[in-house]
Amino acid sequence: MSSDRAMIEVRNLTVDYIGENSVARAVNGIDFDIREGEAFGLAGESGCGKSTVAFALARLTRLPGLVSGGQVRLNGEDVLNFDKARLKAYRWNEVSFVFQSAMNALNPVIPVSEQIMDVIQTHKPELGQQGARERAVELFELVGIPPRRLDDFPHQFSGGMRQRICIAIALALNPKLIIMDEPTTALDVVVQRDIIEQIVELKSRLGFSVLFITHDLGLMIEFCDRIGVMYSGELVEVAPAESILTNPQHPYTRALGNSFPPLTGPRVRLEGIAGTPPDLRALPQGCRFAPRCPHAMDQCRVQPPELRYYPQHRSEAACHLLN
């Protein structure tokens, strides 16, 4: 399904939030690739920078956020330096977005047909009104909503249906990458299951890549091919999904895995992670996880570790313990 060729390459990406008289580095020089047809997950606690990365990738970062360094390449092209025309084509043709709350992701006062058709007409004016409408009907059928409901307003749909509509909008132009920022968090588990199955099915049929963001590690492991674990604006581990729980390299990944209850097997006491993530304006000198890490050594407190590839585990991790 997924090839080894990197479609999106993120190199040393750095995003700051500019305050009145302070700068918070929300994303601190991270590197990762998303391959063709791959589902890549970003996991981590709230505020670790997952969504900030997603926004930077889609070129949606707005003040007070500022992409202050690094590169994002799409098949070799430098995304962060796109001019206006190229950016317009990049948006939605190549990268589209599905947001967490489907209620808020749709404009409440205009019919959903218009919200699907406007993106088609903006990018493919040659299709005309009629062609855009036909495509919208097609998309509704694709996500399993009767096309006669095309002209309804968002409030007339259930939460699950709204999220399907958002997926239909995301698919409108056959993008190469769909960024899904907590796409099922606001839904109940049954609907969540349906939606995920549908995304999996569509993905295998249409072959797009997914950048999947959620704090539900179980769901992520099931859906994604590879997972990047973020802590305090840095990637601490990038590994195949199956080894995140079974063979975690970084103590934070292990701790994160231990904070989820297993669905089968004996009942275990959940450990959680003691302490809180550091304030981005007053970071520890060495490894950012060191103050909460049960295995921290002297070196950890002075020298930040670098993300390195460990072939024997097929994973990348940033931890002094591994050397």
Partner 1 sequence: MVFLLRRLAFYVAALFVAITLNFFIPRLMPGDPSARIIASFQGRLNEAQVEAIRKSYGLTGSLWEQYVTYLGSVARLDFGISTVQFPEPTASLLFYGATWTLVLVGIAIFFAFIIGSMMGIHAAWNRGRFFDSVFTPINVMLNAFTPAVVALLLFYAFSLQLKWFPLGRAHDPSLMPGFDLQFIGSVLYHATLPVLSIFLVSFGGWHLGMRNVMINLLNEDFVILARAKGLSDRRVRYRYVARNAILPQITSLALSVGFLLGGALVTEQVFNYPGLGKFTFTAIQSRDFSFIQGQLLLLTMSVLVANLLSDIANVILDPRLRKG
Nearest Cα to 5, choosing from 29, 27, 34? Answer: 34
**Strands 177-181 and 95-98, sheet pairing:** parallel
Per CB under 8 A, does 99 bind partner 1?
Answer: yes
Per CB under 8 A, does 198 bind partner 1?
Answer: no
Per CB under 8 A, does 108 bind partner 1?
Answer: yes
The strands making up 77-78's β-sheet, listed across from edge to edge, are 23-35, 6-18, 65-74, 77-78
Per CB under 8 A, does 32 bind partner 1?
Answer: no
Q: Which is nearer to partner 1, 111 or 304 (CB)?
A: 111
Per CB under 8 A, does 27 bind partner 1?
Answer: no
Per CB under 8 A, does 109 bind partner 1?
Answer: yes
Residues numbered 138-197 forming contacts with partner 1, rule: CB under 8 A:
153, 155-156, 166, 169
Q: Which is nearer to partner 1, 54 or 245 (CB)?
A: 54
Cis peptide before 64 (omega within 30 of 0): yes
Pick from 110, 270, 274, 297: which binds partner 1 (CB under 8 A)?
A: 110
205, amino acid identity: R
Beta-carbon-side half-sphere exposure of residue 15 (alpha carbons within 13 Å): 27
Shortest distance, CB of residue 118 to partner 1, whole angstroms?
Answer: 6
Per CB under 8 A, does 91 bind partner 1?
Answer: yes
Binding mask 40-59 for partner 1 (x = CB under 8 A): ------------------x-
Shortest distance, CB of residue 5 to partner 1, whole angstroms?
Answer: 25
Per CB under 8 A, does 93 bind partner 1?
Answer: yes
Query: Could you please report the per-residue DSSP string of 170-184?
Result: HHTT--SEEEEESTT
Helix 84-93, helix 112-123: angle, nearest 10? 130
Q: What is the dihedral angle through the alpha carbons of 44, 49, 50, 54, rounded to the nearest 10 degrees?
A: -170
Binding residues vs partner 1 (CB under 8 A): 58, 60, 87-93, 96-97, 99-101, 104-111, 118-119, 122-123, 153, 155-156, 166, 169
